[in-house]
Amino acid sequence: MKILFVRHGESIDDIEDRYGGWADFDLTEKGKSQITVSAQKISELDEKFGMIYTSPLKRAHQAADLISNQLNIKVEILELLKERNLNGILTGMIRSEAKIKYPDQVRKHQNYEYVDGSETEEEMIERVRKAKELILGMKYTSIIAVTHGLFMKTFFKEMMNINISKVLDGAYILIEGENNIFNILKTEGIEFK
């Protein structure tokens, strides 16, 4: 099976300096443009994708719709593809305001400690494993999964022991897997450690 993971483009939280995670912000015009460029490159991969699965968060779903329009492929929501809820009670807040309202939580976030209401690393890993099993059990031989940076980093670390240092807006990575062994076929906008 081939899976093309795509990260959404720039979203409103990026330009308003807000904590993202599970906050549900739209793509910016720049983000839409980034995905349009990625969709064109994806169409040139010469792959016959059977379905696009997307995180339910607006920025990913809007990206999936743009790719769908380019490739004429149906889109379905897959809850498991959501971003990691790393920010907990800080989710959606402007960072400077969060420092005033929740200084202890901001400090914890900066020190990579648990923030109240957030998703633990173990919970995220379990969700990624469930997503992998669900995807591998699908009837398609080739799919697109529109998701988020931390989801992609967790997937590749846990499933392929590959460390990704950076996932640019609109980045993608195509993998092929059989019997739980995956190989990378093509990347765009992904930096490895």
Residues involved in catalysis: 8, 83
Contact between residue 109 and residue 87 where contact means Cβ atoms under 8 Å apart: yes
Written in H, E and C, the secondary structure of 50-67 is: CEEEECCCHHHHHHHHHH
Rounded Cα–Cα distance for residues 189 and 168 (Å): 5
Contact between residue 3 and residue 174 where contact means Cβ atoms under 8 Å apart: yes
Contact between residue 122 and residue 44 where contact means Cβ atoms under 8 Å apart: no
